[in-house]
A = this chain, B = another copy of it.
Amino acid sequence: MGRKGLVHIYTGDGKGKTTAAIGLGVRACGDNMKVLMVQFLKSRDTCELHSLKKLEPEFTVLRGFSCKKFVWNMTEEEMEEARKEATEIFLNVKNLVLQNKYDLVILDELIGVLTNGFIKEDDVIAMIKDKPQETELVLTGRNAGKRLIEAADYVSDIKAVKHPYQEGISARKGIEF
């Protein structure tokens, strides 16, 4: 019998959700696990991509989100476009998960995609229930809902006790992206 894969959630308003998921992926691929990270809602270049390239093919990053705006700046038309893209990416990923192609799958910002109403919570819960037994799943994003928390095995709520945004320092290259 194979190993039992569990479900992780990194949520909350603090810094460290995406990086904790990346660090977990780095650890897992050091154990010869095949890791896939899918980044939702992200399109601009981020520094981690350059390092993670060096861990290919054990660590694969998938993107496909073309919109460069934050949700709160989108027109209704752009929202509709983003919704279509998010749904498409989610369906692709769901297929990869069900086909058992990866040992650990990180769905970065999937919870944000949910919260924006771009995809349905029911579909995510169904994916968790239908996943191959041995697959380890990691979801990140603020405001994980009750049902998602129930469906997960690990839930880490990362609280921003202090963040330099509060002091007016904006996102820095190499640190925030």
A-to-B contact residues, CB < 8 Å: 3, 6, 8, 10, 12, 14-16, 18-24, 26-31, 33, 46-52, 54-55, 58-59, 136, 149, 152-164, 167, 169, 172-175, 177
Asked if B27 contacts A175 (CB within 8 A), the reply is yes
The secondary structure that dominates the A interface is: mixed
| Chain B nearest Cβ from A112, distance in angstroms | 17
A26 to B59 Cα, complex, angstroms: 13
A175-B19 in contact given A6-B164, A162-B152, A162-B153 (Cβ < 8 Å)? no
A50-B23 in contact given A15-B8, A16-B156 (Cβ < 8 Å)? no
Of A20, A24, A46, A173, most B-chain CB atoms within 10 Å: A20
A27 to B163 Cα, complex, angstroms: 18
Asked if A160 contacts B156 (CB within 8 A), the reply is yes
Return the chain B residue nearest A10 by Cβ. Answer: B16
Copies of this chain, complex-wide, total 2
A116 to B51 Cα, complex, angstroms: 35
A108 to B162 Cα, complex, angstroms: 19
Which B residues are CB-close (under 8 A) to A22? 19, 22-23, 26-27
Asked if B175 contacts A16 (CB within 8 A), the reply is no
